[in-house]
Amino acid sequence: MTEHPNSIELWMVNEDLSAYPRIAPPRGYTIRRWTPSDVDVWIRIWAHADHSDRFTPALFHDQFGADPRVLVQRMLFLCDSAGSPVGTAAAWFIDLPGQESWGRVHWIAIDPSHQRKGLARALVSACCRRMHELGHPHTQLSTDSFRLPAINLYLNCGFLPDIRTAEQKRVWRNILQELPAHAGAACRYDRYQQSPVE
């Protein structure tokens, strides 16, 4: 397993899904919903995309449960021109008191052989539009601080940093310096100091 000892979890938000842009997949790619055989598909995509963890049916069910009615509503798979799934994401939800209106862009991955084609932006768009259809006016996501390409993607997709601790505030300042195009990105809210971030 690849270790990232200095990495921390970061949160980002998009507070208005009503006008989220529709970004179609590139020509030859399509996005479909869940089917009952997709646990193995999800494992295969993630095993190719991320070597820092072990992906198993138990992990899948721990994250998503096993209710096919929920899975078919919220699990998305991006397929190549042959119909083979090469990406996945979940238009998920927050199951906590007071946060039921929040959606969650969850577990998004693209097979490395299909990356750098704009597929992740199309999956994020599909997730956000699906969450809005399911009644979520806004959404959030979490990612690791070492995943700069993912953070850059989410900033480009209109997500903003959502700071919750002093450590996150420090890490975000460093990240935004490393991503010059987003150096002036506003943070949604500094929960640590209960005031807007300076």
Q: What domains are there in the chain, each with its CATH number? A: 1-16+137-198 (no CATH), 25-117 (3.40.630.30)
- How does residue 35 score in pLDDT terms, banded at 50, 70 and 90? very high
Q: Is pLDDT at 187 greater than 50 in this prediction? A: yes
- How does residue 195 score in pLDDT terms, banded at 50, 70 and 90? very low
- How does residue 181 score in pLDDT terms, banded at 50, 70 and 90? confident
- How does residue 97 score in pLDDT terms, banded at 50, 70 and 90? confident
DSSP letters along the chain, please?
----TT--EEEEEE---TT----PPPTT-EEEE--TTHHHHHHHHHHHH-TTS---HHHHHHHH-S-HHHHHHHEEEEE-TTS-EEEEEEEEE--STT-TTEEEEEEEEE-GGG-SSSHHHHHHHHHHHHHHHTT-SEEEEEEETT-HHHHHHHHHTT-EEEE-SHHHHHHHHHHHHHSGGGTTPPPSEETTTTB---
The per-residue pLDDT for 197 is: 43
The per-residue pLDDT for 52 is: 79
pTM for this prediction: 0.88
- How does residue 96 score in pLDDT terms, banded at 50, 70 and 90? confident
The per-residue pLDDT for 193 is: 45
